[in-house]
Amino acid sequence: MDTTLFSSLTIPAPTGQGLTLRNRTILSPMCQYAVERQDGVANDWHLQHYGSLAAGGWGLITVESTTVNPVGRISPRDLGLYDDDQEAGHAHLVSFMHRQGTAAAVQLNHAGGRASGQPWLAGTPGGSVPIDEGGWQTVGMTDQSVAPKYRTTTALDEEGLHDIATDFATAAQRADIAGYDAIQIHAAHGYLLHQSLSPITNTRTDEYGGDFTGRTRLTYEVVDAVRAAWPASKPLGVRISATDWVEGGWDLESSIRLVRDLVENHGVTWVDVSSGGLVATSLQPAGPGFHVTLGAAVKNALANTDAVVSVVGGISSPEQAETMLRTGQVDAVSIGRAAMRNPHWPANAAAKLRVPREEIPCAPQYWRAQW
Ligand SMILES: Cc1cc2nc3c(=O)[nH]c(=O)nc-3n(C[C@H](O)[C@H](O)[C@H](O)COP(=O)(O)O)c2cc1C
């Protein structure tokens, strides 16, 4: 059967041909909390994890939240991209993924007040890792705690915020050397850029706070710094939380205003739509495809551009993904937990949608399973 899910997709770039994906399945970034010596370096776990996914046919694999400096790590066990060993570890992953025919993106992040956190595990209390157990003092937009059980953050001054934009740019240069095809800047899920965007957590009174212009300033600085450091021939993406689901918080209207300008004037060509993560709220939806209306709203707002819009959240059935694409709600699907349950989700989905056997995306070693 002819499917949209398994048709190719090009994410444009400011110059050149852009990045053509073999299909429209995108692996959503998911922290593995698997770094062993707090050194931010990928190890055997990461190679088997991303390697297995790459063999399973993804169009684009987005490697988990990778921090741009040590203070920005979500947890002590995060990947980093701020030293040579980390860069070499990423290069090894990318080389293997490319050999399986998948494109590779890295999600660059700074966790701000949510740094130094406990790796997310069922049954653990969450919140900050104590300093005497390997945690560290966090930095962010204000001298406040940004979430329950997280320590009080030290507010960065203007110079400190500029330094963060510079760290993002340096990590982008390392990402290029490591061979990545795309970068996704993490501006969602309650981390530093989202903390700066939302009026709930950004109560600054200087030029990095206040109105929309002030609260988006850091995001613009980071995007512009990365775009300048990252080859113009490679796509730059942004993941947003389209709304905080809280009255008076960051909302869809602000998201659309931001991403439209980022796409039209700042070289962003891929927007990945998520939501929430800043404050707990009962309004946060769940269930099959729970962000699709937000993704469709962003897609609609960017209809006169060539930017690619993907959406994440509760996508697990191939038929549902196919319908979302065929009806033009979004251009691509980002898939998280279903990929951890089944790393070969694309190959299995292709078989289920009756894609011709010889076109099923998977490692040649596994083609034999299709016969
Ligand atoms: C274990 C785990 C780790 C995650 N780590 C990240 C991350 O590094 N960056 C990010 O943007 N989202 C992260 N997420 C969120 C997922 O990318 C995704 O947005 C979310 O799980 C909803 O999609 P799903 O319903 O397909 O799982 C994580 C989710 C899980 C389950």
Res 302: pLDDT: 98
Let me know if residue 58 belongs to a domain: yes
Decide if 13 is inside a domain.
yes
3, part of any domain? no
31 within ligand 1 shell (Cβ under 6 A):
yes
Residue nearest to atom 18 of ligand 1 (CA): 336
Q: Determine contact, residues 227/266, Cβ cutoff 8 Å.
A: yes
CATH number of residue 326's parent domain = 3.20.20.70
Quote the domain boundaries for residue 346.
9-370
Closest ligand 1 atom number to CA of residue 314: 25
pLDDT confidence of residue 3: 97
Q: What is the CA radius of gyration of the chain?
A: 19
**pLDDT given for residue 368 in this prediction:** 86
Q: Is residue 164 helix, strand or coil?
A: helix
Q: Is residue 238 within 6 Å of ligand 1 at its C-beta?
A: no
Q: Is residue 193, in this structure, part of any structural domain at all?
A: yes
Please report the pLDDT score of residue 276 as a whole number. Answer: 96
Q: Which residues of 42-62 are buried (b: 16+ CB within 10 A; e: fewer)?
A: bbeebeebbbebbbbbbbbbb
Q: Is residue 1 part of a domain?
A: no
- The alpha carbon of 30 and the centre of ligand 1 are apart by a number of angstroms equal to 5
Ranges under pLDDT 70 in the chain: none
Instruction: State which of 25, 27, 31 you would mutate to test the pocket of ligand 1, scoring each by most atoms of that ligand within 8 A of its C-beta.
Output: 31
For the chain, the domain total comes to 1
Q: In this predicted structure, what is the pLDDT of residue 9?
A: 98
Does residue 330 lie in a domain region? yes
